[in-house]
Structure 1
Amino acid sequence: MSKAQEIFDTMINRFDSSAAANMEAIFQFELDDAEPYVVTIADGVAVAEQGEHDDATVTLGMDTDTLSEVMSGELDGMQAFMQGKIRADGDIMLATKLTQIFPA
């Protein structure tokens, strides 16, 4: 199993459906050192799969180490963005909710 797959599996296991209540979103992850992943949230359910989506709500670009550190709480996502470790396109405010939806 790839490191990226492990990160997304962990995210799905930590999914907080109450934090994502009434949320419909498509997160596209463009990973510098791994295959792209899509995380879809709808009807209180989160699904992660390898691939790309044509109409993502927000697209986030980073390497797997940065993703792992943000999702584990070691690195603040906003700080990582300000430092240029994360590139974001689309609904940036939605991106700031990632760690609430998938708490460490």
Structure 2
Amino acid sequence: MSAYDVDPATMEPRQFARLVKETPNAELQQIMRGDHRTLYLDGIFTRMVTLFRPDRAGSLDAVIHWNIGDRPGGGADTYEIVIADGACALSEEPRGKPRLTLAVGSMDFLRLISGNAHPIAMFMMGKMKASGDIPLATKIPSLFDIPKP
């Protein structure tokens, strides 16, 4: 199976994690810099909502912005996740004032979201940046069922 033939929104998380792990970096880079970028990012964030663990969120209310860099032509794509009342939702457009903003390059994002990279190590190596509620950033991995490749 080629990574070009994948819709992350419908693929099982473990299968997606293995695909990211086994796909050559050059192919993943082409995907994230080409026409499939939006399909991948939309699919990942759509799936993220289904992997939310409300039992771990407690009374958390937060707007989280994800800035995924390396967009063709420059800049980043911003996705907004809203956690409130024990639920997680993806906003069609970022509108809320973020309590936390996470910025990461597209390749590192794929590795992170598929469980192929450790978030603390990414922060320490400068591959991911956080602004706002930094303690909330440390809770993000526990709020979602991140697949193991």
TM superposition score normalised by structure 2: 0.64
**Can you list the C-alpha shifts for 1:8-50, whole angstroms capped at 9, x where unaligned?**
1221111101011111011111111352100000001101124
Q: Can you give the 5+ residue segments of structure 1 that lack an aligned partner in the other structure?
A: none
Q: Does 1:22 align with 2:59?
A: yes
Measure, in 1, the Cα distance between the counterparts of 2:96 and 2:143: 23
Measure, in 2, the Cα distance between the counterparts of 1:31 and 1:51: 14
Bigger Rg over Cα: 2
1:51 is matched with 93
Q: Does 1:94 align with 2:129?
A: no
SS of residue matched to 1:84:
coil
**8 Å Cα contact 1:26-1:41 kept in structure 2:** yes
Q: Can you give the 5+ residue segments of structure 2 that lack an aligned partner in the other structure?
A: 1-37
**Can you list the C-alpha shifts for 1:70-102, whole angstroms capped at 9, x where unaligned?**
222211111101111101100111011111111
Q: Does 1:80 align with 2:134?
A: no
Number of residues paired by the alignment?
A: 104
Give the residue type in structure 2 aligned to 1:44: G
**8 Å Cα contact 1:58-1:92 kept in structure 2:** yes
TM superposition score normalised by structure 1: 0.89
Structure 1 stretches (4+) deviating beyond 3 angstroms? none
Measure, in 1, the Cα distance between the counterparts of 2:62 and 2:43: 21
**8 Å Cα contact 2:53-2:145 kept in structure 1:** yes
91-100 or 62-71, larger mean C-alpha shift = 62-71
Measure, in 1, the Cα distance between the counterparts of 2:53 and 2:123: 23
Over the aligned positions, Cα root-mean-square deviation in angstroms equals 1.6
